[in-house]
Amino acid sequence: MKVLVVPNAARAATRAAGLVAGVLDGKDRPVLGLATGSTMEPVYADLVARFRAGAISFSGATTFNLDEYVGLSPDHAQSYRQTMRRLLFDHVDIDADACHLPRGDASDPDAEALRYDAAIAAAGGIDIQLLGIGRNGHIGFNEPTSSLGARTRIKTLTQNTRAANASFFERPEEVPRYAITMGIANILEARHCVLVATGGAKAAAVARMVEGPLGADCPATALQLHPRATVIIDREAAAGLELIDYYQEIHPDGEEPGLV
Ligand code: F6R
């Protein structure tokens, strides 16, 4: 796991956006795995700014979001599809048909999950997967005790997660109880996983993910098994790491000087 401790949240977003920009630049038909949540908002703002400056194009890109709320149609204002439109899709040159999210309103969720996994495979797999982390260690909506071998399926959200997402809804009771989410197995198949965490509220989950024992009680620990996982965190999110001096020595302020 590459741990990049950057000075602040703005730098974390720029750094993550830079990695996505590198994939957009480097491939004719890049496949991006996208996440939602407040941590991702400055990442998408940075990507939109790069697009407006003419530095990147999404024209050949395909995207797959990690998850969608069950029960919300794609045109529901709080659906993740609409969120992604507001933050990214509507502001860049991406083909709307190439932007995939699981259908939260599918009449047969199991069939929808299989369809989604097949679509990812048909696109050739995910080149770079953006991830946030929940305070309870979830990635995607793989809540604690999720099978580390699971693929896309329905998960029941914890009260903790519903409370954390309540600010996106008018009333807390409107937060859906279920989500359809890629599983840890899908995430581990991405060729590069980039997890971004900022702020002190994430410090305990980040410490467990990076330095704690592998376990389904903290699904993010599964990234310890990934051959190319990059964790980009600000100093506050890094506050619980015991080996922080080591990470800073290898990557001062999150930079990558190479072997010296
Ligand atoms: C949502 C998702 C979640 C969030 C996580 C952190 O698509 O993948 O795992 O990344 O809940 O959310 P924020 O960034 O709002 O703290």
- Are 66 and 140 contacting, i.e. CB atoms less than 8 angstroms apart? yes
Q: Which atom of ligand 1 sits closest to the CA of residue 36? A: 7
User: What pLDDT shows up at residue 260?
Assistant: 67
Q: What is the CA radius of gyration of the chain?
A: 17
Give the pLDDT of the chain (260 residues) as one tens digit per residue: 999 999 999 999 999 999 999 999 989 999 999 999 999 999 999 999 999 999 999 999 999 999 999 999 999 999 999 999 999 999 999 999 999 999 999 999 999 999 999 999 999 999 999 999 999 999 999 999 999 999 999 999 999 999 999 999 999 999 999 999 999 999 999 999 999 999 999 999 999 999 999 999 999 999 999 999 999 999 999 999 999 999 999 999 999 888 76
User: What pLDDT shows up at residue 126?
Assistant: 98
Does the CB atom of residue 202 touch ligand 1 within 6 A? no
Q: How many CB atoms lie within 10 A of CB 163?
A: 13
Does the CB atom of residue 212 touch ligand 1 within 6 A? no
CA distance 222 to 8: 26
Does the CB atom of residue 39 touch ligand 1 within 6 A? yes
Fold of 2-254: Rossmann fold (3.40.50)
**Residue 100: active-site member:** no
DSSP secondary structure, 196-212, as one string: EE-SGGGHHHHHHHHHS
- Are 34 and 64 contacting, i.e. CB atoms less than 8 angstroms apart? yes
Q: How far is the CA of 101 from the centre of ligand 1 (A)?
A: 15
